[in-house]
Structures are given as structure tokens and as C-alpha cells.
Structure 1
Amino acid sequence: MNVELRQVHDSDLPVFYRQMNDPESLRMAAFTPKEPADRDAFDAHWAKIRSSDAVVRTVLADGDVVGNAAVYGVPGEREVTYWVDRAYWGKGIATAALRALVTEVPERPLYARAASDNAGSLRVLEKCGFRTVATASGYANARGAEIEETVLLLEG
């Protein structure tokens, strides 16, 4: 499968919105918007990040929009995030997309966070060179509870 990143197009947003409202994906991601089905909040969020200094990309697999990936935050504390449609989990797409993103954004350090029970996401991050540096707890909207999260770091 050919995985590529490109600039986000307006036509990608309905796909992202649909992906972000898959109940199983939300549960796995855990740290999600409070009301993922609130389309106005979704649109406002995407307008804000697309006009910021974040590096935001659409993930394509064989030409199909399958998710998004981004680097955001203040220098020295920038974080990566990514979302891949559940239909494409386990195919190496998230790993390929994140590798491409961290190659495109050579700035270091980069941080990442994942629910500590999200083994798939933790594997993706580790394959891309991130290492665990801490654990923390935070309120996970998608689970309605405080859960443990793993904090990871990618150094130069």
C-alpha cells in the first residue's frame, strides 16, 4: 500500500468528521473532543489548526483519504498526533504516515501522548523512534473517566 501525506483540502474535512465519530476509534483514542458529533466545534477546530503554525497533513493510502497527522504546539514542546480510519488499522499506514511526518518536520524534540492501554498507537510511536519518558493521568472524554496516558519523546 502506498502511503503519502499532503496538504489538507476542504474536501477532506467530511471524511475526518466521519472518522472522528466512529465509537470504537473514539474509545481507543480516549483523549478526544468532549462532543465529537458537534459539527460546528469540529469545523472551528479545523479552521483554527489550519490557520496556525501546526504542520497538518492528510494521510492517503493508495490515493484514498484515510486519516490525518500533525505536529503542533510551541517550540520545544511540540507534539505529534495522528488519526487513521479504523478500516485501515493494522496495515502499517499509521507508522508510514508518522515516519513521513517526522521526516518532514526535523525539529526536535517532539512529544506524543497515548492512552497507556492503546497498544497499537504505542507500537506505532516506538517504531518511529519515540521512547516512553513518563506516565500521567488525564480525563478521557471518550471514556468518561480519568485514565493513564503514556508520554513519549523523539529526540534528535
Structure 2
Amino acid sequence: MGEPHVVTLRATRDGDLDALFAFEQDEAAVRMAAFTPPDPSDRAMFDAHWRRLLADPTVDARTVRADGEIVGSVARWFEDGAAEITTWIDPAQWNRHIATRAMRLFLDTLGERPVRARVAADNAASIAVLEKLGFQQVGTEVSYANARGAEIEERIYVLA
């Protein structure tokens, strides 16, 4: 399976949530993401979280599609007045450059800079995506990672 021909983004819809929830059930992906809800398998909590996101006019949540198939999500919200972004791609689609392409498309639509991103310090794949897109590491902090049940180092990146 090579790179998809077309990667697109569209506003996330209620009908996308089943697929997005399924992607977040992969144990390796949850561990890599580290900063997840306390119980990623809690569908009611997942739905409540997405209802809040979709109702918040300051949040920009998009569904990522590759060749027409839902493969993940990207989102921007504001934390302490700063724009912050995140992405989650179906683990079955990893190593196809979808995250990089989706994030590039998403960043092209955002007017605000700087944009911040956070990542577990040992998440080499996500770090590579951020650095490929021009993000620079500006700091670290130790935060509690639900998926690991421990405090871990988190890298903070900024795209100016």
C-alpha cells in the first residue's frame, strides 16, 4: 500500500465519529499518543468530548480522508490564548505520509501563527512530521500521560 493519490480535509461530522473512535482503540497508537482520555474505550466520554468540540466556534475540527476514505482527524483549538493543533491517523494508514500531507493542508487554511503542538518526547514519528512541517522545539515539560499511567516528558513545538 503506497501513498494515497488524494488527501483531503472536511469539517468533521457526527457521522465520522464511529470511524474516529475506532482509530483510537489501537493500543500501540494510544500508547504513542500518551496524552489521551483516562479510558479511551469509553464511547460516552468520546462522544461528549466531540460534542463539545463541534459546538465550540473557536475549534476547527476536520476529518482527514485519503482517496475518499476516512483515515483520521486534525484539529485546532486555543489553549492559554495560543493556537494549538493535533492529529490522529488510523494506525493501519501509518507510513503513508498522510499525517504530513493532512497537517500541511490544515496549516495552509489557518490564519493564525504561531501555532503550537505538543508530543510525547519518545513519539519519533510525530516529531518527524512536526519538524518536516517547519515546527521548532521551544521547550519541554513533564506531564501526566493517561495512556502510560505516569508522568513523561512532553516536547513543545511552535510554527511561527
Residue of structure 2 in register with 1:96 after alignment? 101
Alignment of 1:1-150 (within 5 A): 1=4, 2-52=6-56, 53-74=58-79, 76-150=81-155
Offset, 1:99 = 0.4
Partners of 2:22 and 2:79 lie apart in 1 by 29
Offset, 1:36 = 0.9
Other structure's SS at 1:133 match = strand
Other structure's SS at 1:33 match = coil
1:73-93 C-alpha deviation (Å, 9 max, x unpaired): 158411000000001111110
Q: Which amino acid in the other structure matches residue 125 of structure 1?
A: L
CA RMSD after TM alignment: 1.0
The answer on whether the counterparts of 1:76 and 1:109 sit within 8 Å (CA) in structure 2 is no
1:108-150 C-alpha deviation (Å, 9 max, x unpaired): 1100000000000001011111110001110110011110010
Quickly say closer, same or farther: Cα 1:142–1:107, change in 2 above 3 A. Answer: same
Aligned length: 155
Q: Percent identity?
A: 47
Offset, 1:65 = 0.3
Offset, 1:106 = 2.0
Partners of 1:66 and 1:54 lie apart in 2 by 20
The answer on whether the counterparts of 1:76 and 1:108 sit within 8 Å (CA) in structure 2 is no
TM-score normalised per structure 1: 0.96
- Which runs of 5 or more structure 2 residues have no equivalent in the other structure? none
Partners of 2:93 and 2:110 lie apart in 1 by 24
